[in-house]
Amino acid sequence: MTERTFLDAQKAVIEDFAMNKNKREREFYSLDVGDSTFTVLKRYQNLRPIGSGAQGIVCSAYDQNLERNVAIKKLSRPFQNQTHAKRAYRELVLMKCVNHKNIIGLLNVFTPQKSLEEFQDVYLVMELMDANLCQVIQMELDHERLSYLLYQTLCGIKHLHAAGIIHRDLKPSNIVVKSDCTLKILDFGLARTAATGLLMTPYVVTRYYRAPEVILGMGYQANVDIWSVGCILAEMVRHKILFPGRDYIDQWNKVIEQLGTPSQDFLMKLNQSVRTYVENRPRYAGYSFEKLFPDVLFPADSDHNKLKASQARDLLSKMLVIDASKRISVDEALQHPYINVWYDPAEVEALATLFCH
Ligand code: AMP
């Protein structure tokens, strides 16, 4: 090869590289969203912030390729430490694999960075919903909507359980709905090995919905998630957080003040140091569910609504049971008269194997 052709070849490679780089850069554009900058593919237009969580900011956008609105979540510095990296990885893998209409679906994933060395930001593109349950809790819902939202939450949970995922951290901010009353669960909860107390983020973690077995560091089974659903139903009825503890200790106080000190056979399941603490709390008799959730909280203006109110209260009394061995299971909850009006085997028993592609 002459020197001339060698130089030409080199130039061609560099040009090609630069062209590609330019092309790649042309595919993305940046805009400021709050304190953050979103650098997204050009197909995503009209970005507007719609929420933020422990992992980052979420925007709505219009996807020109799919011709529909989507939600884009920018994971904030997912590789800043192992906890964040593991969480991001787990969320991505599970979102990609779990396929159920009551679990949020992943439409696309991208990074604007061009090489592994520069790789820093991850953007998840999801189906767009209208609001989270925190917003819905403020509303006066009729029994039909209330029970339908619960039914869908239980279908989503059942599907997660069947795929081997026990959530343990369901809360209203992680459940999203559309105005047609369809509902999806947004995340996959606590990883089995999560260093939950050590998450290095200024973001305040909400613990109001965590079950006694999580608060007290006991073993848990699938119906740990039923407790959270009970807390959410209670909040939808009361329009107030059921157990608004300042921390785990205060939260345990709120639980026993309302539901009463648990029985001796529950205390025997606790490890020694926790048991000593629990035994040394003041004793509370608790209140009946009629007192905790009186008729005035429910729409009860007709015989039908009165019946529904008593069914909802009965369901609450079976979900909000401190001892998990005496708490209703997900399957039993789906069969409960307040819920089973919606029962559709195709939704409840949807194929639960994980399909990863
Ligand atoms: P996250 O970071 O997943 O906890 O989400 C934070 C908040 O953003 C949620 O509480 C919702 O209000 C909102 N959000 C997240 N994903 C979506 C979505 N796919 N559709 C609508 N809102 C969402």
Q: What is the pLDDT of residues 318-346, one digit of tens each?
A: 999 999 999 999 999 999 999 999 988 88
Beta-strand relationship, 175-177 and 56-63: unpaired
Of the two residues 125 and 23, the one the predictor is more confident about is 125
Q: Which residues line ligand 1 (CB under 6 A)?
A: 50-53, 55, 58, 71, 73, 104, 126-129, 132, 173-174, 176, 186-187
| Superfamily (CATH H level) for 23-128 | Phosphorylase Kinase; domain 1 (3.30.200.20)
Give the distance (Å) from ligand 1 centre to CA of residue 125. Answer: 11
Q: What are the distances in angstroms from CA 16 to CA 1, 9, 118?
A: 20, 10, 20
Give the single-character DSSP code of 103. Answer: B
When pLDDT is averaged across residues 184-196 and rounded to a whole number, the result is 72
For ligand 1, atom 8: residue with the closest CA:
51
pLDDT band per the 50, 70, 90 thresholds, residue 22: low
Nearest CA to ligand 1 atom 15: 58
**Distance between Cα 186 and ligand 1 center (Å):** 7
User: Please, which pLDDT band fits residue 199 given cuts at 50, 70 and 90?
Assistant: very low
pLDDT band, residue 234 (cuts 50/70/90): very high
What is the atom index within ligand 1 of the atom nearest the CA of 127? 19
State pLDDT tens for residues 284-296: 999 999 999 999 9
**How many angstroms separate the alpha carbon of residue 139 from the centre of ligand 1?**
19
Query: In the chain, what are the domain boundaries?
Result: 23-128, 131-349
**What is the best residue among 44, 132, 201 to mutate for testing ligand 1's pocket, by most ligand atoms within 8 Å of CB?**
132
* pLDDT at site 194: 45
Per-residue pLDDT averaged across 222-237, rounded? Answer: 97
Query: How far is the C-alpha of 32 from the C-alpha of 338, rounded, in Å?
Result: 46
CA of 60 to the centre of ligand 1 (A): 10
**Among candidates 77, 174, 183, which has minimal Cα distance to 134?**
174
Whole-angstrom distance, CA of residue 246 vs CA of residue 252: 10
Cα–Cα distance between 36 and 39 in angstroms, integer? 10
Burial 149-184 (b: 16+ CB within 10 A, else e): bbbbbbbbbbbbbbbebbbbbbbbbbbbbeeeeebb
Instruction: At 235, list the tokens.
Output: 């909040």
* pLDDT tens digits, 110-136: 999 988 888 899 999 999 999 999 999
Give CA separation, 109 vs 74, 83, 149, 186, 300, in Å: 10, 20, 29, 16, 47
- At 243-271, the pLDDT tens digits run 999 988 999 999 999 999 999 999 999 99
User: What is the value of pTM for the model shown?
Assistant: 0.88
Q: For 131-349, which CATH class?
A: mainly alpha
Q: Is the sign of the CA dihedral 329, 333, 335, 336 positive or negative?
A: positive
CA 16 distance to own-chain centroid: 45
Is residue 143 pLDDT above 90, yes or no? yes
Mean pLDDT of 146-161: 96
User: Which residues pair with residue 61 across a beta bridge?
Assistant: 70
Q: Of all atoms in ligand 1, which is nearest to the CA of residue 132? A: 12
Residue 327, C-beta contacts closer than 8 angstroms, at least 6 positions apart: 223, 226, 227, 318, 319, 321
| Strands laid side by side in the 44-53 sheet | 44-53, 56-63, 68-75, 122-127, 106-110
C-alpha span between 96 and 105 (Å, rounded): 7
Which protein residue has the closest C-alpha to ligand 1 atom 22?
A: 129
Cα–Cα distance list, 30 to 53, 56, 58, 64, 320 (Å): 21, 17, 15, 17, 47
Give the Å distance between the CA of 58 and the centre of ligand 1.
6
Mean pLDDT of 303-317: 94
